Amino acid sequence: MDIGSILLALVILLILAHLSARIFNKLGVPGLIGEIIMGIIIANLAIGDWSLMSMLDISMGDDPSENYEVIELFAELGVIFLLFTVGLDTKISDLLSVGKAAVLVAMMGVIVPFVFGFAAIMIIDGSTIHAMFMAAAMVATSVGITARVIKDMRLIDAKESRIIIGAAVIDDVLGMIVLAVVLGMAESGTISISSIATITIMAVAFVLIVMAMAKWLVPRVHTYFHNRKEKIVDKTGDYHPLMNKLFLAIIVCFGFAWLADSIGLAAIIGSFLGGMLLADYAWEWGLEKKIDAISTLFLSFFFLNVGMQINLSECASWYVVGLSLLILFLAVISKYIGCEIGSKMGDKTLDKQSRSIIAIGMIPRGEVGIIVATMGYASNYISVEMYAVVVVMAVATTIIAPPLLSKAYRKKYPPEIKFTPEDMV
Amino acid sequence: MDIGSILLALVILLILAHLSARIFNKLGVPGLIGEIIMGIIIANLAIGDWSLMSMLDISMGDDPSENYEVIELFAELGVIFLLFTVGLDTKISDLLSVGKAAVLVAMMGVIVPFVFGFAAIMIIDGSTIHAMFMAAAMVATSVGITARVIKDMRLIDAKESRIIIGAAVIDDVLGMIVLAVVLGMAESGTISISSIATITIMAVAFVLIVMAMAKWLVPRVHTYFHNRKEKIVDKTGDYHPLMNKLFLAIIVCFGFAWLADSIGLAAIIGSFLGGMLLADYAWEWGLEKKIDAISTLFLSFFFLNVGMQINLSECASWYVVGLSLLILFLAVISKYIGCEIGSKMGDKTLDKQSRSIIAIGMIPRGEVGIIVATMGYASNYISVEMYAVVVVMAVATTIIAPPLLSKAYRKKYPPEIKFTPEDMV
């Protein structure tokens, strides 16, 4: 392991991410977009034989360099920790209060994009398998991106935010189910009811177990911590900083992420549920600041890495550009329409502004869309052009949504007016 | 990248490290020894065909598995952050006040072990190259281990602690110089005065630059932070958490670690100097708790990894056992004698108890000894048995020293009696 080379790559990327985030902030745009665009620049910048990627010994593709593996790991841990902090802010009781709306927003936000995507590719391309993968990639919502915008705006307690986060999490679960179904169909040629049933039961059981643990186990752990005397210096004078709540939180975060991954869900769903498990005591345990410190180290790499997936030279054909624009358009309007209808069905008290916030908040596809495309491409079910289209769509929806979302939020909640009690659940 | 498998390995290792540290704490032994011993158990535990290592997909050696690479990275980052926090606690003015004593302790702590080690291997083995590598591996002090014990005991302000840390840092630098010399001699057969001069000048220049920056640059940065208004919510409501002191600290930590590595020193020396650069404002900036949170995630892997280097089956020959015991004995007494003499020469006011604390604090070899051995083994300058001997010596000195050190400290500073002003510099 060449630690010097790794440290150099980390430092340069952190500084570039920071600078671009600051510049975009000054322009009034969320910093994460700066980080994504910086990722695109980093991956594509080459002057003659020189490129930043080769200078930093970062190469992607089938046989990635060690430095890229570190970036990928940090990106993955970053989004895992981000969803963990979002979970820490999300009390189960709050989520249950928006349950019906979240479920309907999520379901409509899956059905409408899937139908639109499937129809479009069937008309253009004619291949059922291509159409299925494309449609599956258009389904899932990237809770990471939206959650960051909501967190940055400090509007996580608004009713719309809770509906979005609840729906996005359900959506990610539905996205994983759709992926499992599509993969099963592509392999066997038929729909496997048993695999759909298995993953659905797993996901529901996971959520129920977390709710039960939050009710019966976590309060007992809290009592244990509370009663334990703070014996900082024992007879040896030794104090082991691992014996603390932060350690427990890291274990829960990683453990639940692993569990979710191993039952076929995304790791981030597990870390979100893990955070939610501890949400009732997060403030008392002083977890948020500490987990935020850890996030600071990792999270920029997630947004950089989203941008780094875009290979501009691959997107330089008219077919890819045209198809990308079409799919992007469909992805945005299908999600908007689906979620707008879903929120109307789910909660009659939501006004037009609120429904619009929710519908915009569900637009980013981000990593889940890319995961679907990567699996389809790796198994030769879709072409490299289709893959590029999905990546462009996933990244573009991710770039488009945050400024629209901040605007929609700011319309309803102007910075001067803090939200009033009736907007809170 | 199989994030599920990585998360599982991280969770299981963190839990095992935590449990072993707690058990050793209860027994009155520093927790890091529990972590090192747990590392030995993890690396060597096999029941029939089953082993924990293969269950967690950890394999070391020339072609390490992805999971082991993550552990190695975390171990390296852990010790880099540890030395950074030690640096944050070490003000330059405090270190200068013990400068003469630290320099003499370091120099005598290099000369005596080198002579003992060289003589012993020349007598036993007869090979100059073997003897040089063995002697070089006996030279450096593992500031990581000692620093952790001192930090855990909250005695970082005691005069002895500052001498130990200063001397250990100088020692690590001297160790790198010795390694450069030995490597140069092994390659060319002659002593290269220019390479010795280069690395020495680099090291001195690095320290001087850090001192100059701490005096002129950092106060200006502090004023900038102080004057900048806390505009948490700007017109977009966006708040980018990267724009803060923690981000700066991480950049300094990684940047200086990279710089040290790239001029031929150990990365940990750079992160220590980086921490020292910010030491005057660490408390005001609230850095320590945040960096400690990041350390919590990484540091256990460092101590686990030290233990995991020990392959018990390779140590199962009488030659290795005998030579290990001899080298271990020589490593302990030569360092003790050298540093006891050095501290007597450097500071006449130190009493016998203080000199003993300093001499014991310098005993652990830890990672630098292992680095030397690894380089010698990789280039075929030493045999696998010699390598095993160095690893045993490095780990055993690391295990032996902490309990002796806590005892020596406790004799001078009983837990009831907080240290009095005359013990402080």
Cβ neighbours of A412 in B, within 8 Å: none
Please report the number of interchain residue pairs, chain A to chain B, with beta-carbon separation below 8 angstroms. 203
Q: Tell whether A4 is within 8 A of chain B (Cβ).
A: yes
Helices A31-44 and A143-153 pack at an angle, to 10 degrees, of 140
Closest Cβ–Cβ partner in A1, A240, A297 for B25: A240
* ipTM score assigned to the predicted complex: 0.80
Residue in A17, A25, A267 closest to B7 by CB: A267
Nearest to residue A277, comparing CAs of A295, A298, A251? A251
Contacts of A73 in chain B (CB under 8 A): 1, 3, 6, 70, 73
Residue A25 sits at the chain B interface (C-beta within 8 Å): yes
Instruction: Report the residue of B238, B239, B265 to disrupt the A interface, i.e. the one with the largest count of A CBs within 10 Å.
Output: B238
- In terms of CATH architecture, what is B81-227+241-286+311-423? Up-down Bundle (1.20)
- How far is C-alpha A288 from the geometric centre of its chain's CA atoms? 19
For chain B, the 3-state helix, strand and coil shares in percent, each to the nearest 5, are 75, 0, 25
Instruction: Assess A61–B contact: CB distance below 8 Å, yes or no.
Output: no
Residues 288-307, chain B: which have Cβ within 8 Å of A?
Answer: 289-297, 300
Contacts of B307 (CB under 8 A, 6+ apart): B35, B36, B37, B38, B39, B40, B41, B42, B43, B395
Please judge whether A300 and B15 are an interchain contact, meaning their C-beta atoms are less than 8 angstroms apart. Answer: no
Radius of gyration of chain B (CA): 22
> Given this model, what pLDDT does residue B233 score?
40
Is A12 in CB contact (< 8 Å) with chain B?
A: no
Judge contact between B231 and B240, C-beta under 8 A. no
Task: List all residues 6 or more positions away from A195 whose beta carbon is below 8 Å from its beta carbon.
Answer: A180, A181, A184
Cβ within 8 Å, pair A29-B236: yes
Record: contact B14-A292, CB cut-off 8 A: no
Contact A412, A420 (CB under 8 A): no
User: Is pLDDT at B290 greater than 60 in this prediction?
Assistant: yes
Helices (H) and strands (E) counted in chain B, each on its own, are 18, 2
Q: Do B262 and A3 touch (CB under 8 A)?
A: no
What residues contact residue B215 under an 8 Å CB cut-off, 6+ apart? Answer: none
CA–CA dist B363, B339 (Å, integer)? 9
Helix (H, G, I), strand (E, B) or coil at B306: helix
For position A386, what pLDDT does the model report? 84
Pairwise pLDDT comparison (B239 vs B324), residue with the higher score: B324
What's the pLDDT score for residue B380? 80
Confidence of residue B140 (pLDDT cuts 50, 70, 90): confident
User: Which of B25, B236, B290 to probe the A interface (max A CBs under 10 A)?
Assistant: B236
Q: What is the rounded CA–CA span in Å between residue A109 and residue A104?
A: 8
Per-residue confidence (pLDDT) for residue A228, from 0 to 100: 65
- Domain definitions of chain A by residue range: 80-227+241-423
What pLDDT sits at residue A367? Answer: 65
In B, residues 123-162, which contact A (CB 8 Å cutoff)?
149, 152-155
Residues of B in contact with A22 (CB under 8 A): 240, 242-243
Whether the Cβ atoms of residue A353 and residue A408 lie closer than 8 Å to each other: yes
Residue spans of alpha helices (H) in B284-383: 287-308, 318-346, 352-361, 366-378
Percent of chain B with pLDDT over 90: 23
Closest Cα in chain B, distance from residue A187 (Å): 22
Report the chain A residue with the minimal C-alpha distance to residue B249. Answer: A297
Per the CB < 8 A criterion, the answer to whether A167 and A340 are in contact is no
* CA quadruple A113, A114, A115, A117: dihedral sign: positive
Chain B neighbours among A 228-287 (CB < 8 Å)?
233-244, 246-247, 250-251, 254-255, 257-258, 261-262, 267
Set of chain B residues whose Cβ sits within 8 Å of the Cβ of A406: 236-238
Which of B3, B86, B370 to probe the A interface (max A CBs under 10 A)? B3
* Confidence label for B367 from pLDDT (cuts 50, 70 and 90): low
The one-digit pLDDT tens for each residue of chain A (425 residues) are: 788 999 999 999 999 999 998 888 777 666 777 888 899 899 888 888 888 888 888 888 778 888 999 999 999 899 899 889 888 877 888 777 778 889 999 999 999 999 999 999 999 888 888 888 889 888 878 777 778 778 777 888 888 898 998 898 888 778 777 877 787 777 777 767 777 788 778 888 888 898 899 888 988 888 877 776 444 444 434 444 434 788 889 999 999 999 988 887 778 888 988 998 998 888 888 888 888 888 888 988 988 987 887 777 777 788 888 999 999 999 999 999 999 999 999 888 889 999 999 999 999 886 667 777 777 777 788 887 888 888 888 878 888 888 888 888 888 888 655 544 444 44
Q: Which two tokens stand for residue A180?
A: 């499992």
Query: Do B247 and A18 meet the contact criterion of CB atoms below 8 Å apart?
Result: yes
> What pTM value is reported for the model?
0.81
pLDDT over 70, % of chain B: 91
Class of residue A184 by CB neighbours under 10 A (exposed 0-12, middle 13-18, buried 19+): middle
3-state SS assignment for residue B280: helix
* Smallest Cα distance from A64 to chain B, Å: 10
Residue A264's closest chain B neighbor by CA? B4
Q: Do B11 and A251 touch (CB under 8 A)?
A: yes
Span A80-227+241-423 CATH architecture:
Up-down Bundle (1.20)
Is A411 touching B (CB cutoff 8 A)? no
Contact of B340 with chain A, judged by CB distance below 8 Å, is answered with no
The residue whose two tokens read 């690893």 is B391
Name the nearest CA neighbour of A345 among A99, A110, A105: A105
Look up residue A84 and give its amino acid.
Answer: F
With 50 as the cut, is the pLDDT of residue B236 above it? no
Structure tokens at A358: 């929710």
CA distance B116 to chain A (A): 32
Strand partners, A46: A51
- Contact state of B258 with A289 under an 8 Å Cβ cutoff: no
User: Which residues of A are less than 8 Å from B29 in CB distance?
Assistant: 236, 238
